[in-house]
Structure 1
Amino acid sequence: MFKRLGIALAIGFLRLLAVLPYGLVARFGAALGALLYRIPSRRRTIVHTNLRLCFPEWPAAERERVAALHFQHAIRSYVERSVQWFGSAKKLERLIEVDSEIDLKDPDMPPTILLGFHFVGIEAGSIFINHCIGRACGALYQPLSNPKINQIAIEARGRFNAEMVSRADSARVVLRMLRERKPVMLGSDMDYGMRNSAFVPFFGVNACTLTTVSRLAKAGPAQVIPFIGEVLPNYRGYRLKVFKPWEGYPTDDEVADARRMNAFLEEQVRKMPEQYYWVHKRFKTRPEGEAGFY
């Protein structure tokens, strides 16, 4: 009973925040992140471990600076689910600027995989890109552990006519959507274990990386268009950056394709390292016989 009550209060709080000015909500999230960073925690240790692995050339003071900023961004991203899940379309239109190298409303768009990356603005970017396209899209998601919150997340993320697909059911459904010329959004830069994955470098460290994008693009066949959700400075909102389709992708070498994906991601991370989700265990799965990092 107490757990259900806690969840109900948390959702109610997010709905309340959604009607407040975005700048106020964002500042509250940043302040909460700064406070929580001062408290020793497992997540803070994970952030420091990831930054040490990926940026060994940085002075310790620089890693500390980026870690502190990232914690503010990470906690903000959870608080700002309020606006992203429950804010009106008009509010999101005011908050999200679009920088696209393609015509998102192109009625003749070929079968397309919209490839998102786990920056702190991914939620805003993923929800809004479907709104920009203006027609039904598929969207893969990782189910949340709590059924009630999971259902609310599905409804919020799919409210602009997105067909939400659990990652566990994804391959068959995604191929059907691509044959129907329905764009499909997915992310592939988390560590989901060795199934359908290969070890390829990410900032010089072997990272267990999904090869699913390459296989789906080949089977589709589909073009792959990367996109990123960026948090703008001074609490101005977000930028949805949509890139051109990758040329010469996929190839016959899915490991090389995964390497190319990680190289692209590295390039984007270097532009705003404080905004990548370092709170996740990116290097959790290790090659056989290699000690874990966390």
Structure 2
Amino acid sequence: MRKLKYFFITSVLGIAGSLSLATAQKLGRMVGWFLWKLQTQPRDVTATNLAICLPELTSTERAELTKASLASTGMTMLEVPLMWEWPVEKCLDLIKETQGLALINEAMTDGSGLILLAPHLGNWELAGLFFSSRYKMAALYSPPNMAEFEDYMIRVRGRLGSELVRGDRRGLARLASILREGGVAGILPDQSPRGAGNAFAPFFGMEVKTMTLVAKLMQRTGAKVLITYTERLNNAEGFRIVVRETEPNIDSKDPVQAATALNRSIEHCIRKIPAQYQWEYKRLRHRPPGEINPYNPDKVC
């Protein structure tokens, strides 16, 4: 049954991967429209997140942003098979503009390793391909439930030599080793962390569980840190890679101070293109004990 499920998933990915970017984005917008029209859970979660994180918006503006965000989520869903199934050169040709790449060269001039933070903003799969085409790179990941699909994911993401390491003790040790060697480590910084490596810090003003891994890796390896995202251009014209500096104190030994700087760095990027952020993710669900769960007001964290 597992093999049949794997065959079905990879077959669907293969069919979706045969689409053009314009067709994939058009279908993705349709998926987003259905998520909006049918009043699904992604719509409810997106609306809740926007009400908390961007309270300065009017109700009309939040409604429009909710709709635009779901359309972006749908496009990302249909773009991922392209990034996994297309030839690498064809994927890289989608990058029409870059901003801030000089910051990477500057950070690595002295041989230091570099942590690249890539929040769920725009098309993060394309960012991984782009940077692994230029640097010795490793990326942290959580394994899927299906072992066969994990092999497929490692193969397609590692086509340019990028090394995927699990977020366990052995994987983190490998990540630290690559940074000490002057390599690049890619981390998705806006997920609720598991285990003990976390602190409660404000994200758009609300205290949420936030990873402390970035600060610890910087302290252990002397690595620098930057943040990046891949912005979707209009009318299927391609994408723009953007690299930005992070907030001060992101390497602080005070876990709350470091986590606060991490979240602020992510916030600054989101505010540039808020419609392309993955707002349907329940980022605010892990709050300090005793606080209300914003997605279920009847429950206390």
Do the two structures share a fold, i.e. TM-score over 0.5?
A: yes
What does residue range 1-294 of structure 1 map to in structure 2 within 5 Å?
Answer: 1=1, 4-97=3-96, 98-102=98-102, 109-133=111-135, 136-169=136-169, 170-193=171-194, 195-244=196-245, 249-294=250-295
Superposed CA offset, 1:109-160 (max 9, x none): 4211111111131121122211133xx3111012222223322222111111
102-111 or 142-151: bigger deviation: 102-111
| Unpaired segments ≥5 residues, structure 1 | none
Match of 2:209, SS?
Answer: strand
Inter-partner Cα distance in structure 2 for 1:191 and 1:142: 12
| Unpaired segments ≥5 residues, structure 2 | 296-301
Query: Which amino acid in 1 is paired with 2:67?
Result: A
143-152 or 59-68: bigger deviation: 143-152
Instruction: Give the aligned length.
Output: 291
Superposed CA offset, 1:70-110 (max 9, x none): 11111211111111111112211210133233275778642
Match of 2:299 in 1: none
Inter-partner Cα distance in structure 2 for 1:21 and 1:100: 28
Query: Which amino acid in 1 is paired with 2:58?
Result: P
State the Cα RMSD in Å: 2.1
Superposed CA offset, 1:163-200 (max 9, x none): 10011243212111122222111122111246211111
Inter-partner Cα distance in structure 1 for 2:224 and 2:52: 32
Inter-partner Cα distance in structure 2 for 1:104 and 1:225: 8
59-68 or 147-156: bigger deviation: 147-156
Q: 1:286 to 1:247 in 2, by over 3 A?
A: closer
Query: Which amino acid in 1 is paired with 2:144?
Result: L
Query: Which amino acid in 1 is paired with 2:149?
Result: I
Inter-partner Cα distance in structure 2 for 1:244 and 1:46: 29
Query: Which amino acid in 2 is paired with 1:88?
Result: P
241-250 or 175-184: bigger deviation: 241-250
Match of 1:155, SS?
Answer: helix
Contact 1:138–1:185 (CA<8 Å) still a contact in 2? yes
Match of 2:84, SS?
Answer: helix
Shift of 1:253: 2.3
Inter-partner Cα distance in structure 1 for 2:109 and 2:91: 23
Shift of 1:265: 1.5
Query: Which amino acid in 1 is paired with 2:146?
Result: N
Contact 1:200–1:207 (CA<8 Å) still a contact in 2? yes
Inter-partner Cα distance in structure 2 for 1:181 and 1:267: 27
Q: Using structure 1 for the length normalisation, give the TM-score.
A: 0.91
Inter-partner Cα distance in structure 1 for 2:81 and 2:20: 11
Match of 2:228, SS?
Answer: strand
Contact 2:22–2:236 (CA<8 Å) still a contact in 1? yes
Contact 2:53–2:205 (CA<8 Å) still a contact in 1? yes
141-150 or 26-35: bigger deviation: 141-150
Inter-partner Cα distance in structure 2 for 1:245 and 1:280: 23
Q: Using structure 2 for the length normalisation, give the TM-score.
A: 0.89
Shift of 1:37: 1.9
Contact 1:225–1:246 (CA<8 Å) still a contact in 2? no
Inter-partner Cα distance in structure 2 for 1:73 and 1:60: 20
